[in-house]
Structure 1
Amino acid sequence: MQNSTKSPSKRSKIEEKMDKIIYILLSLLVLISSISSIGFAVKIKYQMPKWEYMQPLIDNNLYDPGNPGKSGIAHLITALILYGYLIPISLYVSIEIVKVFQARFINQDIHMYDEETGNTAQARTSNLNEELGQVETILSDKTGTLTCNQMDFLKCSIAGTAYGVRSTEIELAAAKQIAMDLEEQDTQNINVPRYMKSANKEDSRGGPEIELESVITSKCENDQKPAIKGFNFEDSRLMHGHWLNEPNQEALLLFFRILAICQTAVPELNEESGMFTYEAESPDEAAFLAAAREFGFEFYKRTQSSVFIREKYAHPGRLIEREFKILNLLEFTSKRKRMSVIVQDEDGQILLLCKGADSIIFDRLSKNGRIHEELH
């Protein structure tokens, strides 16, 4: 504690610049007062005896030609008082009042409201409000420090069939770039004859316009539907138990069970919504569990030796609770790039469930398991 240094006070650039201006004005005040005081002392010494009408009726030491120094000092004090309005003392008070109102505006700014947590921006101190608008460069050490780092289950490929109709952020960015390129092309062709321009538009913009329109329409539909944290998937073939009508329903059943079982999360029941939330080691694991829940395979309980899931659509009309005993668990590491769990189901069958990077999983597939490799 004795070696700890006192934390420095934070001052904005405007305050530092204002201090410099005050110092300059203070120096100017002293200079003007000194010059006027010297001039007053000189006049008292050399010209006061000649001004008979200026002679005091009684002896006054402040106007004594024999002691001009005392007159100069008295005039210096008078000049400092008279010229003191050159220093804008009220400027500090005005700026502090402005900062207080700025902090209130920041706290009430609806554009900085976080719907997920229900919190608004909080200006804990008003000393550095003006610094916010002067930020030019932000340095971040890793993903998640300043970014959202939220994983959403958007699309999946099961047994060679792709599911999910919503557009990814990459597709939206690509469509936006195509639109910008087309606008730039139209600007360059502004001098082309009208009949040629219309023909070029039909040839060059037909495909991209349709693609861009479909992507934007999908984006608008996404915005209209209330989002579930970690789950932004939409495909009628899998939702509400419709996956039972798919030809590869056995692969779909195993896929959903892997999402719900191959994890290390802890479920927590939200009493307000009645739904389970999951404390997971990573955002992608929480997204997988949210997807499994929406597909009808809800992970709701964990013990030291088992995991429990509720299957809603596996048997139409019945909600079945299943227990899977955990025989061994190999957690995900950066070296293995995969996670594996060995479980025993209620029928006594032992299963090895694994999830991880596609490059790692594909290398470990048997020959019979590679039939869908090129379709992923």
Structure 2
Amino acid sequence: MKYVKAFISEERILQANNRRFNSLFEYPDNSIKTSKYSFFNFLPVNLFEQFQRLANAYFLILLFLQLIPQISSLAWYTTVIPLIVVLSITGVKDAIDDVKRHQSDQQVNNRSVLILVNGRIEENKWRNVQVGDIIKLENDHPVTADVLLLSSSEPYGLTYIETADLDGETNLKVKQAVSATSDMEDNLELLSAFNGEVRCEPPNNKLDRFSGTLSYLGDTYFLDYERLLLRGCIIRNTDWCYGLVVYTGPDTKLMQNSGRSTFKRTHIDHLMNVLVLWIFMLLGGMCFLLSIGHGIWESNRGYHFQAFLPWERYITSSAASSALAFWSYFIVLNTMVPISLYVSVEIIRLGNSYYINWDRKMFYAPKNTPAQARTTTLNEELGQVEYVFSDKTGTLTENVMIFNKCSINGKTYGELVYQAQSPDEGALVTASRNFGFVFHSRTPETITVIEMGRVRVYRLLAILDFSNERKRMSVIVQTPEDRVMLFCKGADTIIYELLHPSCAALSDVTMDQLDDFASEGLRTLMVAYRELDKAFFQTWIKKHGEAWLTLENREKKLALVYEEIERDLVLLGATAIEDKLQSGVPETIVTLNKAKIKIWVLTGDKQETAVNIAYSCRIFKDEMDAVFMVEGTDRETVLEELRSLGPALSTLPLVCPGATGLCSRKQHGVRAAANSMHVQGGGLLPDDTPSEGPSGRPGEEVQEGGDTGHRGWGQ
């Protein structure tokens, strides 16, 4: 057992359909816990939290002092009853909040799931799912745990998922089953006999990373993120799929990102503690002066009254009488510290949470969804927000792409408007269909296209994935004429550098047209191709396979391999897609500006497009004289440019191309800009990355909006 525990810290081992083996590793069950208290620890934990408030701690000390008859002139119950009332009111409110969390946990843990047991599908609860179980997931149902996709109802084991609850993206993502199991489909006999062994990385909070291996029938298969369905995803457009449970409960990536429920104190709580501390100091000073006066009086005049007001036996001198008088005054003047202060604030918070729930201005009529205050203790923190960091696509815009224009061989097309319900790729495919090139179907090995009425099948040889650093994506196919072709689409500035010198004249014309598209607020892409020599491709594909199977620095090695083949491209043209603003975005931004909230938007668009969108959504205002472009790409250069603006920076619209996280700093004598567009940034930082922005300054709150898991989008 010691060997197992030491080994599991480095990698996770599990076997399919073998609960006995998997139990040796003591993996947690699939239940989750987001509540703070239990029945047994509520009283001590809640009291500990409440006595962190100085006023409550003061009255507790006062209660003990009143139990000392030598210094107390008040009955002990005059303090204990108000204190109990105050603690009870806050405790009841905290208990109600936590009961709601318990109910939410119970609702999730008791959801139904279909588990494969001894060749039969049995209905069970989420909490009873264990690592190594094979479960059946159905269309429009959430994923129970982090599972390895084995098979599905779709051809070649494809499964479509929605990850809106994880990363905010509404676009459907495609996952593909492991090749060794995709042919099992819904054959319960084959799935029950499956005894593959998985070795993978230990639990972590990386939503977009997963690596491991599957050993089955003597063969080893590499596993990556494309094979993993995460807890919290929703199955879409797929009747059913089967998956092998890899991570459960607190080990799932969703819960790894949630963090533990902890006691949080707001800015007002800290402020009240400071104010109460000042009252303590004033009270202590008054008691000290009064005790000094008492001692002087006892020393100079008190002996005249000894006959009928003798000292108690425990008072031996005027100094001793003065010390006791200090604590007596401390008790008598206790009303200087308002015991009802925190109760009043709690009642205000409770009422404010109901006002949030009832606010018609925050009611979303299309889905009949009101605003909901999930906690009654942190409402006022909304008033501390000073910066809002927002994505553009899907947050400010509708994420409904409309193909608008294109440039082919130097000629502009696209007076007609074509609309689709999916983002960029759907808009491009729809536009191609309307021009006579119909995307018919796709399998993991082939792509079928109807070109002007002729059915043509392209063999898919390789996909060079998009990344934030590359800002482009390529696909390599074999045409029906047995030619090997590479097609690439990406940011114009990137594709321009990869073009063959023979395209210089055409590229200059196309770049001018792209600038025209961008000035209209359209999202632009460049498209290029290259015909590959077969011998060169065979050599390259071997390097690609070696890099793909590498577990260490795989992304970096793949990027180097991609660069070898993505060069000397021939320009095909450019595309321009319209993404309309969501209803109410300009009004919302104006309201935020009135609240002195600074707005930063992250976008991967061209500068012209970013500025145009900034004006249309009123991040930039028409009365602004100019837009300042920050051209620096390192910290010192950016800070020097910002310093050169002086006080004008606080009102000047700002565009920072490529300088991720640098323009938003308020340090080294640089004031933060009110509003800005951040172009071609690297995505919002994950929670384990040190922040370089304004959130690092004490006393400021930062609110991230939109697609927080998205990186390098919009290229």
Scaled to the shorter chain, the TM-score interval is 0.3 to 0.5
TM-score (norm 2): 0.26
TM-score (norm 1): 0.44
- Higher relative contact order, chain-length normalized (CA < 8 Å, sep 6+): 2
More helix by share: 1
Q: Which has the larger radius of gyration?
A: 1
